[in-house]
C-alpha cells in the first residue's frame, strides 16, 4: 500500500509539470512602465493582484471624489445585508441639498429612491446624493464616516482614513493608490450587479442630464469604470478598470495636472498592462488537485485543493514556461477538519517563484473505527 501511495504522488507531480519546462537561457524582456505625470499611481491585475507598475503607492493623499468608491461600497454592503433596498426612499435634508461641489440636484424634503441616489453618486458624482445616503444609513455623515473606516480596516486598507462621504477637503481625510486599488477590487468582485452603473455614460434626474466624467468610457470600449475626482489640493485623480479577453486591469492615478492628463495617463497604464502581460487561471479553488491517503480515518482518501482560484499574471508568450510543483504532507492522520493545511503549490517562472498557495483539506474526515485505527497503526509501524 505504501508503495502505491508513493507512486501515485510521483505520477501526480509529473502530471502537474507536464508542458511547463523552464528554459535556462530564456530571458524575460519586459520594458519599464511608461512615465506617468502624477503624484502617485498603480496598475494591477484584478484576479491575481499582481502589481504591474507603481509609484508612491503608499503615500497618503487627498482622494477628492474617489472617496465615493468607499461611500457606495458601504451602501452596497447594506443592500447585501438586507438593511436597505434599492426602492427604499430617502428624505433629502437641507444639509445634503446645500453640500457644495458637484451635484445631482436633489431638492429639500423630496423623497428619492436609493437606486437613483446611487446613480447620482456613481455617474454624476453628486455630493448632495452622497450626503443624503450617508444620513439615511447612519443618521449623520460623521457616523457614516466611522462605518467607512471600519470597512477600510476590514479590507486591509492600512493607510486610509475617511471623514466624510464626498471627498471634500478635510485635514484628516486621506487614502493611497494601493488602498484605492484594494477597494476597487472588492467592489468589482463582491458587487458585479451594482458595478454595472460605473460604465453608465450619463444619468438624468430632475430633468437634468449629466455625463460621466470618466472620459475613457468614450475612448476605450474595454473600460467599464470606475471614478474620477478633483479638488485643488488633490489635483486630478482617476480610478479606471478595463476588461479585455477575460483579463481585467485596475489603474489608479492621483494628482495629475488636468482632466485630460488623468485620462491619458490612465489609458497609457492600461495599454501597457494589456500589451506586455497576460493572466491565467491555473487551478480552480475548492476542486481536488489530488486525493491523498489518510490514516486512521472513516475514509481512506482525502481530497486536497486550493481555497480559491489560483491566477498568475506573467509576461506575454511565456505560459508554456511556467513550472508548477505540488508538495503534500507525507503522513496525514485523522481526524482532519475541512480547511486544514496539508501542503502547498508553488508556481515559478524563469527560476522565480511567482505564486505560493496552501493546499487544504476539502472535506472533514473523522476518526475511523477501532479496527481501522488498529490496522493502520500496524501499517504505520512498517513505514
CA–CA dist 325, 348 (Å, integer): 8
Q: Quick one: which of 198, 195, 156, 162 has its CA closest to 179?
A: 156
Euclidean distance between CA atoms 79 and 243, whole angstroms: 26
Instruction: Tell me the catalytic residues.
Output: 65, 68, 125
Distance between CA atoms of residues 261 and 363, nearest Å: 52
* DSSP three-state, residue 260: helix
Which residues, at least 6 apart from 3, have a Cβ–Cβ distance to it below 8 Å? none
Cα→Cα distances 20→10, 17, 95, 327, 352, Å? 16, 5, 61, 17, 14
Question: Shortest CA distance to 313 belongs to which of 99, 53, 26?
Answer: 53
Tell how strand 310-315 and strand 277-283 pair up.
antiparallel
Amino acid at each position: 500500500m505504501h508503495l502505491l501511495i508513493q507512486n501515485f504522488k510521483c505520477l501526480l507531480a509529473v502530471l502537474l509539470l507536464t508542458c511547463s519546462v523552464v528554459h535556462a537561457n530564456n530571458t524575460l524582456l519586459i520594458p519599464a512602465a511608461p512615465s506617468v505625470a502624477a503624484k502617485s499611481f498603480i496598475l494591477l491585475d484584478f484576479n491575481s493582484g499582481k502589481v504591474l507598475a507603481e509609484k508612491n503607492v503608499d503615500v497618503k493623499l487627498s482622494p477628492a471624489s474617489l472617496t465615493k468608491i468607499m461611500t457606495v461600497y458601504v451602501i452596497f454592503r447594506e443592500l447585501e445585508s438586507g438593511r436597505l433596498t434599492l426602492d427604499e426612499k430617502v428624505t433629502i435634508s437641507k444639509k445634503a441639498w446645500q453640500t457644495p461641489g458637484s451635484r445631482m440636484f436633489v431638492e429639500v424634503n423630496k423623497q428619492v429612491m436609493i437606486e437613483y441616489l446611487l446613480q447620482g453618486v456613481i455617474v454624476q458624482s453628486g455630493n448632495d446624493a452622497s450626503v443624503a445616503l450617508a444620513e439615511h444609513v447612519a443618521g449623520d455623515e460623521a457616523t457614516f464616516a466611522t462605518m467607512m473606516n471600519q470597512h477600510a480596516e476590514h479590507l486591509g486598507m492600512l493607510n486610509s482614513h475617511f471623514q466624510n462621504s464626498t471627498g471634500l477637503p478635510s485635514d484628516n481625510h486621506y487614502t493611497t493608490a494601493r488602498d484605492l486599488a484594494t477597494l476597487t477590487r472588492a467592489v468589482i468582485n463582491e458587487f458585479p450587479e451594482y458595478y454595472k452603473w460605473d460604465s453608465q455614460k450619463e444619468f438624468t434626474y430632475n430633468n437634468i442630464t449629466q455625463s460621466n466624467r470618466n472620459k475613457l468610457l468614450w475612448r476605450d470600449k474595454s473600460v467599464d469604470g470606475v471614478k474620477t475626482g478633483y479638488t485643488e489640493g488633490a489635483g486630478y485623480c482617476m480610478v479606471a478598470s478595463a476588461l479585455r479577453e477575460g483579463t481585467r486591469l485596475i489603474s489608479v492615478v492621483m494628482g495629475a495636472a488636468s482632466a485630460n492628463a488623468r485620462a491619458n495617463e490612465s489609458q497609457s497604464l492600461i495599454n501597457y498592462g494589456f500589451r506586455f502581460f497576460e493572466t491565467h487561471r491555473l487551478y480552480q479553488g475548492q476542486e481536488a488537485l489530488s486525493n491523498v491517503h489518510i490514516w486512521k480515518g472513516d475514509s481512506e482518501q482525502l481530497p486536497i485543493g486550493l481555497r480559491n482560484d489560483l491566477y498568475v499574471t506573467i509576461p506575454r508568450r511565456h505560459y508554456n514556461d511556467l513550472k508548477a510543483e505540488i508538495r503534500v504532507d507525507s503522513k496525514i492522520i485523522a481526524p482532519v477538519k475541512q480547511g486544514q493545511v496539508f501542503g502547498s503549490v508553488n508556481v515559478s517562472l524563469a527560476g522565480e517563484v511567482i505564486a505560493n498557495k496552501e493546499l487544504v483539506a476539502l472535506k472533514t474526515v473523522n476518526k475511523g473505527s477501532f479496527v481501522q485505527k488498529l490496522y493502520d497503526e500496524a501499517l504505520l509501524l512498517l513505514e
